[in-house]
Amino acid sequence: MSLLVIGSLALDTIETPFGKAERTLGGSATFISTSASYFTEPVRLVGIVGYDFPKEEIEFLKSKGIDISGLEISDTDKTFHWHGKYDFDLNTRESLVTELNAFEKFDPVISSEFRKSKYVCLGNLHPLLQQKVVKQIDSPKLIMCDTMNFWIDGAYDDLIETLKLVNLLVINDGEARELSGEYNLVSAARKIMKMGPQILIIKKGEHGALLFTPDFIFSAPAYPLEQVFDPTGAGDTFAGGLMGWLSRTDDLSDTNLKLAVIYGSTMASLAVEKFSLDGIRHLSKEIITDRFNEFKRLTHFENASI
Amino acid sequence: MSLLVIGSLALDTIETPFGKAERTLGGSATFISTSASYFTEPVRLVGIVGYDFPKEEIEFLKSKGIDISGLEISDTDKTFHWHGKYDFDLNTRESLVTELNAFEKFDPVISSEFRKSKYVCLGNLHPLLQQKVVKQIDSPKLIMCDTMNFWIDGAYDDLIETLKLVNLLVINDGEARELSGEYNLVSAARKIMKMGPQILIIKKGEHGALLFTPDFIFSAPAYPLEQVFDPTGAGDTFAGGLMGWLSRTDDLSDTNLKLAVIYGSTMASLAVEKFSLDGIRHLSKEIITDRFNEFKRLTHFENASI
């Protein structure tokens, strides 16, 4: 099925204890759509870049089968640029530079073709922009939404309105606690699901992810990597695998939601092994399937009783 | 098979945001042996209490089928008393009172019958005491050891000697990082396994536990509880379920080690739902099996490929 992806495209400068990458391809929509491209088609990208956006990266996105007819290229502004530096354990990062540039004027208008998309992935954007996108979609089957502390703090009322319009919210543990005012994640999930989304995924970084539906909780582990090279885009890559799998299968059963979370985790684990987008630029089905199977070995156990 | 348990017996005063329990049964050996008693027999307890230790708690231990012939009762000293207070989110605790009393003189001498035990669980004790116990056992099949930051800081060299003598080490994530000097838990595990234990379990509290062997890594989730009532003894209860299952099955295969970790997690999840030992005092096989099956639902997913 069709998957519509809305979010940022950026040129990132990233410093980790292992090295530095300058003006490398980044942004939520980039990671989401690249990750999803391994699962489904068409992946439809809506975003904005500046006149300095490398032509070869446009070609890269096209090479993944991503429909970039919704990608606006500004004549007057540069591409969104973010410069971040991670601390020694990669658990905290500092934003050294955030130049929104063309992204500041992002006003997503969805084409008549794209409006027919059945699956929609709203990357981390101002909640008002997210609402604007949702209202343009004809008859979506599932709308997923990401957000961040910045909007919980600064645009709470708008975010609450967005949450009423989406089916699936994907946030991290800190955001879930802040949004709900609850420390316990199970209590937090209950509260957040009353705000709108029927399905909630709470990402816990190196501790995996929790999937909450009205009927069950599912716990996905993180892949135990000895070396995380660069966590940039891990959450968006997760969302791309998740929504790519759901679009591919067009199946929202409990069983299939669990698989979607594992495919999201699979893709995220591959992403963080290399700098920036490099971990997921050129993957084979074999590599993805092998990693998926490793998740199975990592968590599955036999039946037993006492 | 026979399981020998060595550790503390205490009277704990516990304060959590949900209430206070005064001079309630506690101590590592208490939690370990009670938890293990649901899985195997004989469970052989070696420890020391004071003259003030309640007779009904002796009867309680006997009622669980625990062999208390190795329990020393001091005529002159009181029972080890610990008074702890947990903060609002139960993640940190303060020790208000630690009176070792009779436990200060604990010098475990293992009877000729107990020396024949095949499975040995060394609760959190001074590493020299742990060594002393190990050297008394005739021909053990598996020796498990717990420890804590206090010994890593204060008796490092002794602990290193203990680690050479044990097969299975069970510690928490903070202890693993401190012991290894590695932040990444996979790297930490590699280093620690070079110190002696062939099998390592790193407990991550609300994030579950990781099992490392030379051949594989297994990730067990924590049971997603909305209300943790009292985390006291959760780690010891985990160890009791783990070692109880291994003693019961006498099977150290990869498949069975995974099951042991899940039974440990099962018991720990039941323990923290009530104050102190109350969560595991009176369990049925049905309750344990139901919770085990919930762990399965929580983590298992179907086969799939792209």
User: In this predicted complex, what is the ipTM?
Assistant: 0.91
User: What is the pTM for the complete model shown?
Assistant: 0.94
| Per-residue pLDDT, B180 | 97
* B191 occurs within a structural domain: yes
Please list the ranges in chain A whose pLDDT falls under 50: none
| Chain A contact for B184 (CB, 8 A cutoff) | yes
- The pair of structure tokens assigned to A211 is 């999937």
Please, what is the end-to-end C-alpha distance for chain A in angstroms?
46
The stretches of A149-251 forming alpha helices (DSSP H) are: 149-154, 156-163, 173-180, 185-193, 234-249
Which of A 11-40 lie inside 8 A of B, CB atoms? 38-39
Neighbours of B291 (CB within 10 A): 19
Contact residues on chain A for B186, CB-CB shorter than 8 A: 224-226
Please list the ranges in chain B whose pLDDT falls under 70: none
| Chains A–B, number of C-beta pairs less than 8 Å apart | 116
Neighbours of B40 (CB within 10 A): 22
> CB-based burial of residue A3 (10 Å sphere; 0-12 exposed, 13-18 middle, 19+ buried)?
buried
Contact residues on chain B for A226, CB-CB shorter than 8 A: 184, 186-187, 190
Q: What gap in Å lies between CA A166 and CA B174, rounded to an integer?
A: 39
Q: Which of B164, B228, B221, B222 is nearest to B198 (CA)?
A: B164
Residue B27, Ramachandran bin (φ over 0: left; ψ between -120 and 50: alpha; else beta):
left
**Is there a contact between B300 and A300 if contact means CB atoms under 8 Å apart?**
yes
* Each residue's pLDDT tens digit, B111-158: 999 999 999 999 999 999 999 999 999 999 999 999 999 999 999 999
Determine which of B86, B219, B226 to mutate to test the interface with A (most A C-beta atoms within 10 Å).
Answer: B219
* A84 occurs within a structural domain: yes
* A164 occurs within a structural domain: yes
Q: For residue A196, report the phi and psi dihedrals to the nearest 5 degrees.
A: 150, -60
Amino acid letter at A285?
Answer: K
- Give ∠ CA B71-B76-B79 in degrees, rounded to 5: 55
Q: For residue B137, report the phi and psi dihedrals to the nearest 5 degrees.
A: -80, 135
Q: What gap in Å lies between CA A265 and CA A211, rounded to an integer?
A: 12
* B304 occurs within a structural domain: no
The CA distances from residue A2 to A249, B76, B90, B112, in Å, are 11, 78, 45, 72
Q: What gap in Å lies between CA B235 and CA A298, rounded to an integer?
A: 22
* A16 occurs within a structural domain: yes
**Is there a contact between B218 and A298 if contact means CB atoms under 8 Å apart?**
yes
| Per-residue pLDDT, B306 | 86
* A26 occurs within a structural domain: yes
Give residue A66's domain range: 3-299
**Is there a contact between B285 and A306 if contact means CB atoms under 8 Å apart?**
yes
Contact residues on chain A for B183, CB-CB shorter than 8 A: 88-89
* A305 occurs within a structural domain: no
**Is there a contact between B301 and A262 if contact means CB atoms under 8 Å apart?**
yes
Residue in B closest to A222 by C-alpha: B219
Token look-up 């190196």 returns: A206
- Classify strands B209-212 and B199-203 as parallel, antiparallel or unpaired: antiparallel
- The pair of structure tokens assigned to B238 is 């985990």
Long-range contacts from B155-160, C-beta under 8 angstroms, 24+ separation = B155/B126, B155/B127, B155/B128, B158/B126, B158/B127, B158/B128, B158/B131, B159/B127, B160/B195
Q: What gap in Å lies between CA A145 and CA A154, rounded to an integer?
A: 17
Among the partner-chain residues A216, A226, A289, the one whose CB lies closest to the CB of B184 is A226
Among the partner-chain residues B38, B219, B259, the one whose CB lies closest to the CB of A299 is B219
The number of folded domains in chain A is: 1
The stretches of chain B forming alpha helices (DSSP H) are: 28-37, 55-63, 127-136, 149-154, 156-163, 173-180, 185-193, 234-249, 254-271, 278-281, 285-299
Question: Could you write out the three-class secondary structure of A167-192?
Answer: CEEEEEHHHHHHHHCCCCHHHHHHHH
* A304 occurs within a structural domain: no
- The pair of structure tokens assigned to B237 is 């209860």
Q: E-assigned strands of chain A?
A: 3-6, 10-16, 19-26, 43-49, 66-73, 80-86, 93-99, 119-122, 142-146, 168-172, 199-203, 209-212, 217-220
The CA distances from residue B224 to A66, A211, B262, in Å, are 38, 11, 14
Q: How many CA atoms lie within 13 A of B116 on its CB side?
A: 4
Please, what is the end-to-end C-alpha distance for chain B in angstroms?
46
| Per-residue pLDDT, A19 | 86
Q: What gap in Å lies between CA B4 and CA A47, rounded to an integer?
A: 64
Distance from CA of A133 to the nearest CA of B (A): 30
Q: How many residues does chain A have?
A: 306
Among the partner-chain residues B38, B297, B299, the one whose CB lies closest to the CB of A299 is B299
User: Which CATH number belongs to the domain containing residue A211 in this structure?
Assistant: 3.40.1190.20
Q: What gap in Å lies between CA B111 and CA A283, rounded to an integer?
A: 61
Q: What gap in Å lies between CA B163 and CA B266, rounded to an integer?
A: 27
Q: Which of A135, A85, A215 is nearest to B298 (CA)?
A: A215
Among the partner-chain residues A216, A245, A301, the one whose CB lies closest to the CB of B259 is A301
* Each residue's pLDDT tens digit, A69-110: 999 999 999 999 999 999 877 778 889 999 999 999 999 999
